[in-house]
Amino acid sequence: MEPRYNDLQACAISPAAPLVIVDVDEVLAQFMRGFGAFIERHGFELRVDRFALFQNIYRPGETEHLDLIAGKALFDDFFRDGADDLLPALGAADALADLSTHAEVVILTNAPEHGRMARIKWLKTHGFDYPLIINSGPKGPPAAELAARTSGPAVFIDDLLPQLESVAEKAPRVGRFQMVSDERLRPFAPSAPDRHVRIDEWPALKAAIEERLSA
Ligand SMILES: [Mg+2]
């Protein structure tokens, strides 16, 4: 049985509620900061000089990044054991708390399945107590399915351009917002502001989402 599929099936949306579909890493959570702190304790360093993940991991003093298999292993460990290093994005919990007074919030994250328990605990600890869907691959299909469960307006927030493009293709009536919480990553993050609104700070993002949901 496919657990990810069950998450989506189990997610009940009120039939007329406005809907907020929101990513975790670099949107609710300061992923790169947390991952950097985690790998530092394991003797590596993260250099944020491009919009990448495994290609940014180095052994101190070296100029060639760590090989991708070793990088992937650190990434997998982080999802299992790194929750203490992961801090929430500034203002995210307050913004979602406000939005949730008149909209339903659903968290749609691409996390490895082995990180499920740690992720659930992290979200609850930091005030993100909303239904969670652990997805893998493009988010357009699950976003379309969620949005189809309500006649109300829907929005989608993610840091990754390909995910925003996926939602534009599969769920064109869902409003799209790009948010990159890490200040160092912001200049490197590919974006297309003509197609997907880009706002990197939660207070301003929340205001834009509210406007879209009430339009
Ligand atoms: Mg993300």
pLDDT digits (tens, 9 = 90+) for 65-113: 999 999 999 999 999 999 899 999 999 999 999 999 999 999 999 999 9
Please count the structural domains in the chain.
2
What distance in Å separates the CA atoms of residue 27 and residue 121, rounded to the nearest whole number?
17
Q: Which domain holds residue 135?
A: 3-30+87-214
Domain end marker among 52, 68, 85: 85
Report the separation in Å between the CA atom of 35 and the middle of ligand 1, taken as the mean of its atom positions: 13
- Say yes or no: 173 and 120 in one domain: yes
What distance in Å separates the CA atoms of residue 49 and residue 18, rounded to the nearest whole number?
38
- Say yes or no: 96 and 14 in one domain: yes
Report the pLDDT value the prediction gives residue 4, as an integer from 0 to 100. Answer: 52
The pair phi, psi for residue 83, each rounded to 5°, is: -60, -35
Domain end marker among 54, 85, 116: 85
- Say yes or no: 61 and 118 in one domain: no
Report the separation in Å between the CA atom of 23 and the middle of ligand 1, taken as the mean of its atom positions: 6
Domain end marker among 85, 119, 150: 85
User: What is the pTM (predicted TM-score) of this model?
Assistant: 0.95
Report the separation in Å between the CA atom of 159 and the middle of ligand 1, taken as the mean of its atom positions: 5
Report the separation in Å between the CA atom of 147 and the middle of ligand 1, taken as the mean of its atom positions: 20
- Say yes or no: 54 and 13 in one domain: no
pLDDT digits (tens, 9 = 90+) for 101-115: 999 999 999 999 999
